[in-house]
Amino acid sequence: MIVIVCPGQGSQTPGFLEPWVAEPWFREHLGALSDQAKIDLLAHGTTSDADTIRDTKIAQPLIVAAGLLTLRALLDDGRASFVGGVAGHSVGEITAAQAAGILSESDAMSFVAERGAAMAEAAALTPTGMSAVVGGDEAELLAVLDSLGLSPANFNGGGQLVVAGELPALEQLKERAPRGARVIPLQVAGAFHTAYMQPAVERLTAVAAELTPHDPVLPIWTNRDGGIVDSGADFVKLLVGQVSSPVRWDRCMEAFTAAGVTGIIEVAPAGALTGLAKRGLKGVASVAVKTPDDLPNAIELLTSA
C-alpha cells in the first residue's frame, strides 16, 4: 500500500522549481496555477531569494503549486488507481485535498492564497516564532512549554516537536529544555498552529463557505488526529480549524503503520516528510520527488506495490 504525502511550509528553497519549468508543460501548468492564486509563482519558484519565499503569503501557494505539478505527472495515465491514500503536513493538507478529489485545483489555489495572507496578517499582530525541539523527554518538554507560555505546534514524530510562541519565551526555552534536547530556531514569521492564528481562522471560515468540496475518492488522513475523513465538507472544516491547532503528524504516521502502508511518495518540494519517515516508519520504502528526474522512481514504487 503506497501513500502520497505532501509537505508543509519550510520545505521550499530558492530556485527549486527551475528543473520543473524547464519542461514546457510543467511551465504552462504553473502559469495556470499562478493565475488561480494571483501570485507570480514562476518568478518565486525560480528567481526569488530565500527571504522572499519565506514570506507566508508566498510560501504557502508556492508549496501547494509544486505539489500539484508533481501530482499531475505522477498520477497521469490512470496511476491514481494504485494510490492507497494521501495525507499532507500543515498547508500540505490542501495539496492532499486536491489529490483526493475534495478540492479542484482552482479552489485549492484560491484557498491557499487566502490562507497564506490570513496567517501572515495574524502573525503580524504579535512578534512570535517557532523552534524545533529534537530529542529529550516529551512529557518534560510539554511541562516546560506550559510554564513558559509556549505551545506545541507540530508533533512530527521521530523525537521531533515544533513549538511556538512569543520570541522571549522561545529564547528562554534554549536554557530550560530537557536534558538531551536540541532547540533549533526556525525561519518562520509567526506562531502557526496555535491560538495566535485565531484571527486567520475567522477569516478562512468565510472563505471556506465559498468552496465546493466533494467527498474524497481516496482515503485521506487528517492532521487533527491521524484519522481518515470520509466527508469533503468535514475535511474543509478541519483545514480551517487546523490553522490554530497542532499538527499531529506523529499520529498520521502511526495510522500509516496500522493501515499496512509499505511505501510513501513525497511530492515536491520533497524531503522533509521522507526524512521523518526514516525515523518514524522504519522499513517503509520512500521516494522524495524533488525534480522531474525523480518521477520514474516514484512511478515504479507506486505501480509495483
Among residues of the chain, what percentage have pLDDT more than 90? 94
Secondary structure class of 179 (helix, strand, coil): coil
- Interval 169-195 mean pLDDT: 93
- Interval 129-147 mean pLDDT: 95
- Above 80 in pLDDT, residue 223? yes
- At residue 169, what are phi and psi to the nearest 5 degrees? -70, -35
Q: Are residues 7 and 156 in the same domain?
A: no
Q: Which three cell numbers mark 57?
A: 503569503
76: pLDDT confidence band, cut at 50, 70 and 90? Answer: confident
Secondary structure class of 201 (helix, strand, coil): helix
pLDDT of residue 159: 87
Q: Are residues 209 and 106 in the same domain?
A: yes
pLDDT of residue 128: 95
Domain count, the chain: 2
Q: How far apart are CA 95 and CA 92, in angstroms?
A: 5
Q: Are residues 78 and 175 in the same domain?
A: no
188: pLDDT confidence band, cut at 50, 70 and 90? Answer: confident
Q: How far apart are CA 61 and CA 290, in angstroms?
A: 17
- Above 90 in pLDDT, residue 10? no
- Above 80 in pLDDT, residue 238? yes
Q: Are residues 149 and 115 in the same domain?
A: no
Q: What CATH number is associated with residue 74?
A: 3.40.366.10
Which residues have a catalytic role annotated?
Answer: 90, 193
Q: Are residues 94 and 20 in the same domain?
A: yes
- Interval 163-185 mean pLDDT: 95
Who contacts 62 (Cβ-Cβ below 8 Å, separation ≥6)? 12, 17, 39, 41, 44, 45, 53
Query: To the nearest whole number, what is the mean pLDDT of the chain?
Result: 95
Count of Cβ atoms closer than 10 Å to residue 23 Cβ: 13
189: pLDDT confidence band, cut at 50, 70 and 90? Answer: confident
- Above 90 in pLDDT, residue 24? yes
Q: Are residues 68 and 201 in the same domain?
A: yes
- Above 80 in pLDDT, residue 26? yes
- Above 80 in pLDDT, residue 254? yes
pLDDT of residue 77: 85
- Interval 70-93 mean pLDDT: 95
Among 163, 185, 207, identify where a domain stops: 185
Q: How far apart are CA 237 and CA 185, in angstroms?
A: 30
- Interval 177-192 mean pLDDT: 91
- Interval 80-89 mean pLDDT: 96
Q: Are residues 87 and 225 in the same domain?
A: yes
Q: Are residues 107 and 141 in the same domain?
A: no
Q: Are residues 171 and 274 in the same domain?
A: no
